[in-house]
Structure 1
């Protein structure tokens, strides 16, 4: 190959050229390696290398121009490095090589000469009287699309190509010998002069600068200053300048857009800092990118200590599994995840909303611990009230005074059902309940007039479906430098449930009074601080005591307990209080006014305050009759468990409610394994007769009894036969309650019947042999004897005797066979 940087290209069938060889000098020129170049298309090299070519399409077409000719194609290309923007000039010569006729291959040789210095030096030689024919870059220099010129030591123009004259909007006579600073905008002339002096010190400089044409038009140029060295001395500066005004303006627009985006993000962060809920944002690598003020307050950690760190390094997943699972689901499944949880680490209750985005996750934390505490106090004071307050996500709003617009987050849809993200201020006013609107709107006006920093109001707000919800609305005022109100940023919290709970509380208190007056149970309220007990009216009818007794004291109650139960009842109560249990059930005997004892069930709720039991509220029910019934049922169950039959009791859907001990012992299933399942699921198998099962289901489905024989299977797969009697059960009102199935295991009988069937078949076979097989040789013997009586010759007699012997042997064989079969039969 040529010692110059060169390539050998081969034309493919599709018409494109592939690089087959590259010289070492070429690889050094493009700063590449052979593996990255050889074998790729010539077009890929042009468009994807470290260099940007001035006319890539013209360069790409050069091999096609010379293919099959003796001509060569020469191009001078301005080449720009992608990494640092440095410009060079290359002379690229392309010529055809002899074709490979055997393989029908077409090859092209391309050589590259770096003529940057030659082009620059060519101007000096021209000025010194050197002939143009010795300056190969001269012609292309004047027609080069970029400005190429030289400047003397005083900064005056020496030479200028056509592109510079066009760029400067003046003629050659107007520019030569004038200072280049005249074409630099005044505010950047000092910078331009410093860069010029740097080039005079022998350094190549790349920079961008703003210029002004002779007609006053501004241009933005990418410039390269190259020292002009003559006989070892810097005699001036060569300059390459490219007009990148359009690119510069685009960059400026992009920078302005970026600035506006950053300003928008800052406004958003201001809004997020104004809300009472915690808000954090994460990128796709779990890196914390934002942590608002509420999060600092809730979690007690400054944002400076967290932003930029991996969330799971700060809060290990093993200790925050519910958070970890929810965040994983939201991030990778792209779904909104909401959940409520309690954090032992922070001793707080949270409603968490996790929103996925293109950047990662946005997470809201609503601390509703205070509401939990309020709920607890309401429940304790009401003694019957169970309030679970679920905090709602706030609707965040941003009221822009100048635009008269209110921007909402997704909360306006989740709470109120509106899809609009931007509304007018009037829209907000129109949706306030007419009874609340005057006061709310007046409070806003006062806020604006006083320029107070904070505003809060409770009112009713209309939803998209026409209903109203109670909201707690908070807002923060923002002023500009002129102390003018520019916006209010705030949040609306749905407190409808709290208002509803307050109403329910009042109703619950009323209901409690009504219940205590109508129930047959004895309701009591025991104040542990005073040891006073209040009873409802049922204490009299239940135990026979009248108002002359004083049941308000603890000892009255304790004295009525059965002596054998007293110690245990007291111990159970003390244990419940020690372990902070809030529910307790006890059964014991209580003495009536006639001196007899009743079994009672005492169900109570223990109320604590500051970890101390302060009150017990309960109800006492008479279970005397129930106890007797249970005892009778236990005796009945014990009796059923002693029988050998397999007994199943099922519901109307044939699902098992109870089985006896014989069933458990025979089938191998525990009661826990069979409850809720059907006998068909557990006991039927391959040899269970489908027709019998269908008949069973049909009759039971009609509420009729069934009796039949069936194959069942034990838990370990052992087959057994049963005789099943299944009877429907009805209550006293003829209501269908289920079935009772009683099964007798008849496996031995069925096996005995099978053996008898086999014996019968064998005996039938022997009878057939006796009646058919024996007759044939017997008939032969009788016939031969008849012939023998009429035989005249000894020879004939001998023949008949031989036949007689054969028939006798056949008869003997058949008799032995019958005897063997008879001996093989096992007589039942």
Structure 2
């Protein structure tokens, strides 16, 4: 292959050969022909010129053939490069935007055949919204090589590909054209966009929390952080912090060294959780939790990701939960109730040990259906409907009494109470409650019911009080005596309406003390009817206590002793009058009689004209008047005694 010879070099060779020919050819002629004739010289000159033309023509032909061959090789090489390039390439007319030539890579990348592609324009492979931008850029395009940047192209299936475009202005087959080479950057572009979106989402996530989030590299310099961290650390540092700054400012050198050690441990691959407690003047006791997590790149640790959050509420809840668990354990120890926890979603019931001890089971299956199977057949439907009715109605509490099967296949009455827990959506998720054996209470209530039947038929007033000392039942005799009906007094204490101003408070206090201590007692009590009339009763009070000695009910049977008390009062009055008569007879009447006897002893019976007798007669008259008054008083007292005795004999109505 000959070296490429440019047109300038060909001309230069031609000029040099011409000059050499002119100079040496004439010299050679003079050397050959020492004295040529003019005719001979002219003929030789003709042959010399013709020989030069033939020689230079052959030489030029040889040089031009080599140059043309080289041009063809170059053109073929460029064509081969264009056609076989792995990058999509095409040539288009800058005026009509029509494709003039396209390589195989472009056909493959865009999905067209050669004929289809060459029938398109560069506008046909652009999204509609990008066409105006294309036309504007073509107007401002300069000749020569240029980078057109990132563009969006359309494949034949109308899918979008992101390409980096490079172009070169040229003339092609008489057209002002551009040679375009594109690099498919779709995967990279989408990856970059995904990375940007990921960074945006990550930024949104880490900045959507009040927790502190940051990371440091292996040199303990900031790589990333969220806004709360930047705010707090910036306040501590007294300036805004930036990526690349040193690790956080701390309160003391000791704490600084502590953080250094924590970073070092994390950079060695250890995951660390640090809990700290401190007192804040405005917030009180505050708990924080900071985690240090190694950042791996392959097998190498390149930094530490750190999270710090306020866990005060969580810690306080944990403390409260611990106390609640302790209280729950204490309640388990202190009560005989069967405690249960019903997970409504799983339909599982967890029991404490008391269900085994109280009802005689060796174990309890946690499936809720097992509990339902232990309900008395006559109670099951009612109880189950009440449970789910409470859940459906959105109640927070449920209770019911029913019969429950024991380990020996007998049924005992129980009372169940529960609290219904709900989630954030208000849906019931758990029921926590207790189940207490009330068989003895039910038996007592049955006995009381029977006694109440008897009491309702007796003529003695009967009052039944609950464990708080409030009336829950009275019989007809009580209503007739007091004037109060059961509806009027139900739920009240007897002392709140039966007692009045003359009721002895000491007696009332003694009765209440007996009831509280569970002792029987009797007492005479002055009550007042609904009409304000007093009446006396003998109250026979009997408390009903449970196995633990607690008063469940109190039964009071009254006897109307108003007539007896009236008789006693009359008898007391008569006795008092008799005592007064006796006193008048033995003391007051005796004094004037003794005085009269003494005066009569001083009276001068021998000498009636004795002047002292007149004074004695006056004194005798005074004493006689006193005695007369005393005799009248005695007569009145006797009359009162007579009247009292006759009043006792008169019949009275209750």
**TM tier, shorter chain?**
0.3 to 0.5
Which structure has the larger Rg over C-alpha atoms? 2
Higher relative contact order (CA 8 A, sep 6+): 2
**If the length of structure 2 is used for normalisation, what is the TM-score?**
0.34
TM-score between the two structures when normalised by the length of structure 1? 0.28
